[in-house]
A and B are shown apart, each in its own frame.
Chain A
Amino acid sequence: MIKDANGLIDYTEALKNQSSSELKLYVSMGTCGIAAGTTPVLNKIYQTIEEKNLKDIIDVVEVGCMGLCHSEPCICLENKETNEKVYYGNLSEEQVVQILEAKFDTELAGAKVLNKTWNTPEDEEISDQIQTRIVLRNSGVINPEKIEDYVMRDGYKALAKALTEMKPAGVVSEIELSGLRGRGGGGFPTGRKWQFAASQDADQKYLICNADEGDPGAFMDRAVLEGDPHSVLEAMVIAGYGIGADKGYIYIRAEYPLAIKRLEIAIAQAEELGFLGENILGSGFNFTIELKYGAGAFVCGEETALIHSIEGKRGEPTFKPPFPAISGLWGKPTIVNNVETFANVAAIIRNGADWFKSIGTEGSPGTKVFALAGKINKVGLVEVPMGTVLRDIIYGLGHGIVDGREFKAVQTGGPSGGCIKADKLDTPIDYESLKALGSMMGSGGMIVMDEDDCMVDIAKFFLDFTLEESCGKCTPCRIGNTRLHELLEDICSGNGTMETIEKLKTLSAAIKDTALCGLGQTSPNPVISTLNNFYDEYMQHVDRKKCPAGVCTKLVSYTINDKCVGCTLCARNCPVSCISGERKELHHIDQSKCIKCGVCYTACKFHAIDRT
């Protein structure tokens, strides 16, 4: 138990003075790494260290996501003396043994070496790297299940500073001055929100961390919780102190078992050391944190719905005002903030508002984490200063489009966002610029699409999602989106007319204006944005009854041309056996049986299959 701020300093010093091995081996054990097969690699590492008796010179650190998802399983080898670091990726069990022998001799190691593309301003000189890590500073560097690791990286120092050197009002105004905006999607100034709750006079106030991460194709918050859970806990205590709340909840999706486990461990450790509980660091301030689990409802990411869900009710949103900061959980003033928003707080308190403002743009200070995925060469988690241009992210960090294909669009903002075209790739991104492009920041999903993606189909995909997730409480969202979906279905199946397009436009506008909550109000965005940016493609579906990307199955057909050499590969791959033909003779597709799955098209090595 650490009794006060000085106790924390002594504790940190003692940890730092513990002798550590010469080498550190970081092994990426986030969900992505585990899915890609890091566990056997890790076991091999332990086995080799045991066999070769390397225990005294190598420390193995199991860390969260390093952001290098494209090259999992990956490890990082560090020399504690010289600070030299090498990242190895796409590892096999055999390679690991070789690396442990070759160490920093990358040639001898015979494994793929990865470039570090980030810079952590709290730890090192600013460099010209595209990425700047504040939120992910510890992710991939510390063992998230060890509070000692976090403390050694200035962990809970901000809490000690807030509790001993600052008044609650000072904490709130520091965050307000920093210009930090909510990373959960809306971008509302965090300090101002805290101010609302702080100024309420109530016997009980609550603080909630929104870890419901609903954007289907994004995993930033999970990476933070898996890689650095204490950064969120520390921020929540600081926020609680600022607004005068002594009870915090983390509302987390049940689909994130690893993040839940690491949070549970982190909470228990923080309680044990006295960073949570009563009389924290001798300040007289009490704060506890409890986990609450979601149960698979996207709308529960919306703050009023989330509050109802914590109360044990159906997660239906309610009209705002009153805002939760005035009347929230069980009718008490409640602040809801996103995981990534919280992950910025300790760094701001440690380094000051001016430091934070020096990163990013004037209107949107700081950084943003994006989950970069889709048709891109280097899928992964990236954290860039606000104001970075899209091109640097997609081509600089993502290494462009797979198979050298043509970039078509990038989708940001998830189901509430929109698609951005190639001619806008040089836009510096922040909350306002993305809105001006008809998209939005959202929580940070960034999906890249190429010429094989049909934009009408993409719009339909997001509406599918909204339809499934609409809580059904308000008519515009429940019925309106159903109709929108039917209109898109008409277009995709060749029944669309100019009238359908007009209806899409008017209905979208009506839903936007009349839906109850943010889910419905933003649900037509994918339709509006694709209509605006890819009108030609809609027209191809309507006028020519063709899907240029070859996605809408009702509008494509597959035929075999005379380049066919009769290799039988297509026939053998066809799941419904609708391709016939003798060996070395021209094959034929039975159109009545064809399910248009496109397997033959991808299988054929002779360009003998036409998709029209």
Chain B
Amino acid sequence: MSSCTCSKDGGCSGIEEINLIKLFPEKTSELDRYIETLNITSDIEQNRGYLIQVLHRAQGIFSYLPEDVQLHVANKLSLHLSEVYGVISFYSYFTDKPVGKYKINVCTGTACFVKGAGRILDELKRYLSIEEGETTADGKFSLGGLRCVGACSLAPVVMVNDKVYGNVTTDMVPQIINDCSE
């Protein structure tokens, strides 16, 4: 995990302090317009039912969910920041760290596993010098695992953003990375 570079001493959440909400007013209003289509009331139980879909939308817009976005969502739904953070940290789909331009995901489903996905993942880690769940220093590549993408007939499978590579072998790794710069 990368350590925080902010100047706060103590009380720092470890999240870098870039305020996306202030930085991107058009994105923020896109999110607000979505929230307005929901039936947000003073009934907190009901509002909470919308939380996960709002976070999905927010992540779709901002690509990750740092503290200021979490706080913004919390205020809009009259929830506590801690509740929002609790949900984000629980679900692996949500991330509060920026992700790379190319999201490289190795399928770690059972079919891919028995066909050697572990070796592919190891080779990618070695090649990119990062661990699973990390992003390269230049912000270009993130490496992760994902569960069965339903292409078991092509196992082992690697996904780069929306592109699927099938029947991957370790010696295809340089090519896959190369494709990304095109």
Binding site for B on A (CB under 8 A): 30-32, 35-36, 69-70, 72, 214-219, 222-223, 254-255, 292-298, 309-316, 330, 371, 373-375, 379-380, 411, 414, 445, 447, 449, 453, 458, 461, 471, 573, 575-576, 595, 597-599
Whole-angstrom CA separation of A72 from B153 in the bound complex? 9
- Contact, CB under 8 Å: A314 / B110: no
- Contact, CB under 8 Å: B52 / A293: yes
Give the Cβ gap from A259 to chain B, nearest Cβ, in Å.
9
Whole-angstrom CA separation of A598 from B116 in the bound complex? 11
Is B177 located at the chain interface by the 8 A CB criterion?
Answer: no
- Contact, CB under 8 Å: A373 / B153: yes
17 residue pairs bridging A and B, Cβ less than 8 Å apart = A30-B150, A35-B166, A255-B93, A293-B53, A294-B93, A295-B55, A297-B92, A314-B90, A315-B90, A316-B90, A373-B152, A373-B153, A373-B155, A374-B114, A458-B114, A461-B110, A575-B127
- Contact, CB under 8 Å: B170 / A575: yes
Closest to B47 in A: A312
Is B76 located at the chain interface by the 8 A CB criterion?
Answer: no
- Contact, CB under 8 Å: B56 / A222: no
Residues of chain B in range 81-130 having any CB-CB distance to chain A below 8 Å: 86-87, 90-94, 108-115, 119, 122-123, 126-127
- Contact, CB under 8 Å: B115 / A374: yes
Give the Cβ gap from A222 to chain B, nearest Cβ, in Å.
6
Whole-angstrom CA separation of A69 from B150 in the bound complex? 9
Name 17 extra pairs, CB < 8 A, besides A315-B90, A371-B152: A32-B153, A35-B149, A69-B151, A214-B147, A216-B109, A216-B148, A217-B109, A217-B112, A217-B152, A297-B92, A311-B48, A374-B155, A379-B153, A453-B114, A458-B114, A575-B171, A599-B170
Whole-angstrom CA separation of A248 from B152 in the bound complex? 31
Chain B residues lying within 8 Å of A461, measured Cβ to Cβ, are 110, 113
Binding site for A on B (CB under 8 A): 45, 47-53, 55-56, 86-87, 90-94, 108-115, 119, 122-123, 126-127, 146-155, 157, 164, 166, 170-171, 173
- Contact, CB under 8 Å: B52 / A216: no
Chain A residues lying within 8 Å of B155, measured Cβ to Cβ, are 373-374, 379
- Contact, CB under 8 Å: B56 / A293: yes
- Contact, CB under 8 Å: B90 / A597: no
- Contact, CB under 8 Å: A36 / B166: yes
- Contact, CB under 8 Å: B93 / A254: yes
Give the Cβ gap from A420 to chain B, nearest Cβ, in Å.
14
B114 in complex: contacting residue of A219, A449, A595, A598, CB < 8 Å? A449
Chain A residues lying within 8 Å of B92, measured Cβ to Cβ, are 295-297
